[in-house]
Amino acid sequence: MKFNEKFSKATAGMGSSMIRELVATTKGIPGLISLAGGFPSPDSFNKEDIAECYKEVVLESGNDILQYGASEGDAQLKEELIKWEEYKNMSMDEMLITVGSTNAIYYYAKTFINPGDVILCEAPSFLGSLVSFEAEMAELISIEMDDEGINIEKLKQAIADCAQNGKKVKFLYTIPDFQNPTGISMSAQRRMDLVELMAEVNIPILEDNPYSELRYTGEMIPSIFKIAEEKNLRGLVTLVKSFSKILGPGLRVAYAVSSEEIIGKMCSWQQKVNVSPGCVTERMVARFMQKDLLVKQIGIVNDLYTPYWEAMLTALEDFMPKTVKWTKPEGGMFVWLTLPEGVDADELFVKAREQKVAFIPGSKFFPKGQEQHNCLRLNYSYAKPDAIREGVKRLASIM
């Protein structure tokens, strides 16, 4: 029996994942080099320690962690995270463990969005979050970026335009470190300017930060959350961090920190959506941290990816025509190429596939109707350094 006529408006309006479908067209092509996805390298997975931690916690604490757990998340894991991040004056009620970052972002979206509300984001931004906001029937307005991150003047203008048009802006979504898809990191000054502006206009910030631990050169920049903390603006920024790029996305463990007010509401959604994250896996990660394995693991991951990242940036220098510009990330997984005006990366994708190299056309990272087409994203966390170099060479040959 068919019931599509009974589906909710949000469900009826949902499309399939364009990126997934695009990547699917490259599957099974022998010798294809994929610079398309956003997968971490399996060589980064610490199978031995993770296997051992799982076994230990189930044997030792099975009575506790096989039972129903707190919707707020595992207390042991939260304790370790507060220590690790050196969060000051943070209570357990200001942190929520979730089933990956996307899950935290979804709860935040549910906490704020009524149909028709405006969410501000960077242009371009992470598609996975944008489709979540759209599924809650938000209107997305994307704001131009420069080398230092989101353009504050354009942001002010967008907020003013919304106010004039009677549109309700609920929050700003930003990925300040090694942004997906551009690789751009927001400068410290820009972060301070952003906090000042958003406090003034009373619009909260959702800071999505899955990549900041993947730094191959340069200095760490404090999170927007920490900058707001120094100004006693708890609640202005909700920070989401994930273990996906360090331990493995298959675990589905991330966390959010914010005010007790916002975390409490996100937790109410978790109760209704998942009851709690997987308690065994939460405790396994806590054990991994208790054994001081995390600092070592981050070192291993960064040592692994440094030659991947070098191979990417060197190959771009060596092979790309002068008319192509690209970002210069100091970490993360992605670099963003800007092609000459008029070149369409969606068309280039088809030609590149013939040359056995895949990327994601830039248009896929903008809200509908706000697309740019002369741009594309390359990944450097999955194909190995030699393949990255060869892939960039192939791509350059068709430019």
Footprint of a second copy on residues 5-64 (CB under 8 A)?
Answer: 6-11, 14, 16-17, 39-40, 42, 45, 47-48, 50-52, 54-56, 58-59, 62-64
Q: Are 292 and 299 in contact (CB under 8 A)?
A: no
Is the Cα dihedral 196, 197, 198, 202 positive or negative?
positive
- C-beta closer to a second copy: residue 277 or 331: 277
Of 118-126, 209-217, 233-241, 386-394, which part binds a second copy (CB under 8 A)?
Answer: 233-241
Residues 292-331 that bind a second copy (CB under 8 A): none
327: its two tokens: 């970002």
Provide the residue type at 274 as one letter: N
Nearest-approach distance from CB 172 to a second copy, in angstroms: 12
Nearest-approach distance from CB 110 to a second copy, in angstroms: 7
Which is it for strands 205-209 and 237-242: parallel, antiparallel or unpaired?
A: parallel
Nearest-approach distance from CB 343 to a second copy, in angstroms: 30
Residues 134-173 that bind a second copy (CB under 8 A): 135, 168, 170-171
Choice from 125, 174, 209, 276 touching a second copy (CB under 8 A): 276
- C-beta closer to a second copy: residue 93 or 330: 93
Question: Considering the rule CB under 8 A, would residue 102 count as an interface residue with a second copy?
Answer: yes
Query: Hey, how many other C-beta atoms are within 10 angstroms of the C-beta on 223?
Result: 20
Nearest-approach distance from CB 13 to a second copy, in angstroms: 11
Question: Considering the rule CB under 8 A, would residue 291 count as an interface residue with a second copy?
Answer: no
Nearest-approach distance from CB 392 to a second copy, in angstroms: 24
Contact code string over 103-122 relative to a second copy, x by CB under 8 A: x--x---xxxxx--x-----
